[in-house]
Amino acid sequence: MEPNGIGELKVPLLQPPEAAAAVRTVMFQLSDIKCASCVNSVEAVVGGLNGVKSVAVSPLDGRAAVKFDPKLVTVKQIKEGIEESGFGVGELHEQDIAVCRVRIKGMACTSCSESVENALQMVEGVKKAIVGLALEEAKVHFDPNLTDVDKIIEAIEDTGFGADLISSGNDANKVFLKLEGVDSVEDVNLLMSSLELAAGVNHVEMDLSEHKVTVSYDPDVTGPRSLIHCVQEASCGPKKYQATLYSPSTQRGRDKVNEIRMYRDQFLFSCLFSVPVFLFAMVFPMFPPYGNWLNYRVHNMLTLGLFLRWILCTPVQFIIGKRFYVGSYHALKRKSANMDVLVALGTNAAYFYSLYILIKALTSDTFEGQDFFETSSMLISFILLGKYLEIVAKGKTSDALGKLTQLVPDKAYLVAIDTDGNITTETEIDTQLIQKNDIIKIVPGAKIPVDGIVIKGQSYANESMITGEARPVDKSPGDKVISGTINENGCLLVKATHVGSDTALSQIVQLVEAAQLAKAPVQKLADHISRVFVPIVVVVALITWLGWFIPGQAGIFPKHWIPTAMDAFELALQFAISVLVVACPCALGLATPTAVMVASGMGASQGVLIKGGNALEKAHKVTVVVFDKTGTLTVGKPEVVSAVLFSEFSMEELCDMTIAVEASSEHPIAKAVVVHAKRLRKKFGSSTEEIFDVDDFEVHMGAGVSGKVGDRTVVVGNKRLMHACNIPIGSQVEKYISENENLARTCILVSIDGKIAGAFCITDPVKPEARRVVSFLHSMGISSIIVTGDNRATATAIANEVGIDEVFAETDPVGKANKVKDLQMKGMTVAMVGDGINDSPALVAADVGMAIGAGTDIAIEAADIVLVKSSLEDVITAIDLSRKTMSRIRLNYIWALGYNILGMPIAAGVLYPFAGIRLPPWLAGACMAASSLSVVSSSLLLQFYKKPLHIESP
């Protein structure tokens, strides 16, 4: 439920949704509130505004809470009312921030995406807007008290681009239903009431025109199947209602197909006219019969060929080329310039000069001139061809992500079981209808449709498509299964724990989509260049025209340089048009986002989730990797190998006290100690599972836990914690600790009432791939360090086993973060690899935080990169993929700028005096299209990325 949803629980269920959402609350921070009189003044002024329901002002902290109807009054008007009463108003307090994603149509280059971003930032209430050129999407964070989705879409459309809402941020648990049997207002009211009264339903929206309903719900309470059943149950008498699932029409795939079809059709339609123009201008005049026919004079000097070229070129210029005029108008309106401006300038110069030639030939019986109608029409055709090929190629940049989304099967077998676990009923249903706690039958070879727990059966699951792990994973009752993976051989019964957008696969897709939308810092280079690029190109084109026209008119260069049937003006004009067209900045804007899209998709398909372009870029600079020990370098499943007593306490007392205190800890070592202590308790004492109550329980981060059990003070932890609590450690205990630490074992001491009662010795085996990973990192020029809360002897033993020289032991979470900062102060770029809550400060402090996928939610949230399958080899994969991506981005910039750096001088005619080489405008347009296609194709090569190190599981 969204933040506003808490208040909605108090609204009567049968109240119309519009009324339920009508009243909003906004809070202000006021200054100069000194007494009750000030409070009365504010409440009187604001309370008098039409639409304000209530006002409450606190004179103590200067805060004002205002409930209002956003249809009648705005937050801005309320704020102005307070200011008019003589009090200062600070920033809005406790704002609700909503998020929406919008598809944007018609963006061509970085200048376009920047214009949209700037327009969104100027909308009142928009806090943050990110526009992705390659994804053609915008993600907008806004205050719903100040603006809404309609205003955001309106702002985008005002800049000249099309906009469609993808999601409003709260679509995670929504179901879209198509209704049948709804014929009247009474039917609508009945169904609305039935759905709103249903348990777990938060909000209902009805589209009367198309008989569609959208229901927001709590997945822990209800689901799509229950809601469809609710609609059917509302039937009364002969009136029968039916509901079926439908998908909203604004899907990326459908939009992409339509866009590709549009560019293809426009290109073919353009060729229908421009190819004959080209033939009439360049080919047929060389063959006498056709040449004579085309040179036939219709009137004065107007030939049939010139007239036909004009007739055929005009539809291309103004009908097919309309998009360039519209794009130019909106670009200039927002005081910027983009590809459309350059194309419009170039084609207009060619077309209207040719039109001047045609009029002059029509009115004169002696005038001879060269027209450029073929330049205009062929230029537009080549640009459309380039856009068509570019969009087809861009569609392939998200192939890896598309394959992930297609992993979920369309159908699933829903079963009911009896108390003995036998199947009583079996029904094939749509996967979208699965609800939490449903039991699904997975036959051999079938894809698993949801995240869940195996309750019956034995099999192997192929999880390579999610985790990148090639070897099938054994699945038996109690094991978790992942949506989209394949059941290899046995039949499984799985209880659904996460469905729809809550599954691991959906979250991976959402994470990758967010990463693809985020800009990498290297993108700033393209943004800076694009701001000044088009104006510079226009100036260069003007200088080119003057540089050829003036010397030509003055006779400075030889007459034979000017081609037959041309004059100096026409030659200069062709050079200027070529400069305008060849220098298009489209490729520059695609250089970074296309590479990031492909790389993040490839990373996800191999079990490496990169949370954004920033992380992807920073990872290639890493010079040192800091490893946590437990759960990172080690397997993370510690086992107690021995337990000893050091005083007069019995083993039963030791176990009771230890279990009581450690049972409240979530640390893996604590859980291992509890399991072993319970086993010992059954062996030496009572078999009952009694656990004593603990008072004053306290966690000592990186050291242990303590608390009072009855009247006894119990401390369980490492040697450092004992010293901190002033608990003496005898020589016998020291010897036991030293012997085990040299074997890479951890000793957990138990103190009861200030005396060491006993100890548990714990081992956690090193991951089999750890040594090879550390060695491979060294070969990449990256050093490795261990930073752990464990004791120095154990940490050193682990370090020697995996080949790490530098160890920082007995370090608390803050100390880990400080160690990362110390390394950064020395000029190193630090990657931190960890899995626990105690690693999260260091993960945040590091330049690149990498969380082991099996780690805690907090660690994963704090990290920049998540290693899904918990294998250390993916540390190398993440860094290597970053290096390959950054290398590809640099190559993309070379492709993008190379065409301009080489093409512009050639287009300006630098080689023409020496080699007679010039770049006709239509060929310049082809070069421009080729530059964008080269960049996208270059990025697509990342799809062939292979891991540099692949270690088979034992």
Tell me: the pLDDT tens digits for 408-460?
Answer: 888 888 998 887 778 888 888 888 888 888 899 998 888 888 888 999 888 88
Q: Which residue has the higher pLDDT, 236 or 687?
A: 236
3-state secondary structure (DSSP) of residue 662: helix
Give yes or no for residue 902 having a pLDDT over 80: yes
Average pLDDT of the segment spanning 525-543: 80
Q: Give the position of tokens 């599954």.
A: 503
Q: How confident is the model at residue 855 (pLDDT cuts 50, 70, 90)?
A: low
**In the CATH hierarchy, which fold is given to the domain comprising 639-763?**
Calcium-transporting ATPase, cytoplasmic domain N (3.40.1110)
Average of per-residue pLDDT values in the chain:
81
Four-residue CA torsion sign, 109, 112, 116, 121: positive
Give yes or no for residue 925 having a pLDDT over 80: no
Query: Domain 98-168's class?
Result: alpha beta
- The 3-state secondary structure of 472-539, one letter per residue: CEEECCCCEECCCCEECCCCEEEEEEECHHHCHHHHHHHHHHHHHHCCCCCHHHHHHHHHHHHHHHHH
The domain 608-634+767-868 is classified under which CATH number: 1.10.1240.10, 3.30.70.1290, 3.40.50.1820, 3.40.50.1000?
A: 3.40.50.1000
Give yes or no for residue 271 having a pLDDT over 80: yes
What is the residue-wise DSSP string for 235-295?
A: -BTTB--EEEE---S--HHHHHHHHHHHHHHHHHHHHHHHHHHHIIIIIGGGSHHHHHHHT
Q: How confident is the model at residue 390 (pLDDT cuts 50, 70, 90)?
A: confident
Tell me: the pLDDT tens digits for 179-207?
Answer: 887 777 777 778 888 887 888 887 787 77
Which range in 160-164, 273-277, 339-343 is most confidently predicted, on average pLDDT? 273-277
Which range in 464-468, 634-638, 750-754 is most confidently predicted, on average pLDDT? 750-754
Tell me: the pLDDT tens digits for 100-157?
Answer: 888 888 887 777 888 888 889 888 888 888 888 777 888 888 887 778 888 899 899 8
Which range in 24-38, 337-351, 769-783 is most confidently predicted, on average pLDDT? 769-783
The predicted model scores a pTM of: 0.66
**Amino acid 689: pLDDT:** 63
Taking the C-alpha atoms of residue 67 and residue 46, their distance in angstroms, rounded to an integer, is: 10
Give yes or no for residue 272 having a pLDDT over 70: yes
Average pLDDT of the segment spanning 752-770: 88
Widest Cα–Cα separation across the chain: 125
β-bridge pairing 806-808 and 783-787: parallel
Cα-based distances in Å from 569 to 262, 723, 814:
37, 92, 73
List the structure tokens of 25: 């609350």
Query: Domain 24-90's class?
Result: alpha beta
Q: 98-168 and 608-634+767-868 share one CATH topology? A: no
Domain ranges of the chain: 24-90, 98-168, 174-246, 251-404, 521-594+884-944, 608-634+767-868, 639-763
**Amino acid 5: pLDDT:** 34
**Roughly what angle, to the nearest 10 degrees, separates helices 921-940 and 568-582?**
10
Q: How confident is the model at residue 790 (pLDDT cuts 50, 70, 90)?
A: confident
Give yes or no for residue 383 having a pLDDT over 90: no
What is the residue-wise DSSP string for 384-430?
A: HHHHHHHHHHHHHTTHHHHHHHT-S-SEEEEEEE-TTS-EEEEEEEE
Q: How confident is the model at residue 10 (pLDDT cuts 50, 70, 90)?
A: very low
User: Which of 229-238, 489-498, 596-605, 741-750 bottoms out in mean pLDDT, i.e. has the lowest?
Assistant: 229-238
Tell me which architecture the domain covering 174-246 has in CATH. Answer: 2-Layer Sandwich (3.30)
Q: Which residue has the higher pLDDT, 215 or 208?
A: 215
State the first-to-last Cα distance of the chain, in angstroms, to the nearest integer. Answer: 44
Taking the C-alpha atoms of residue 905 and residue 898, their distance in angstroms, rounded to an integer, is: 11
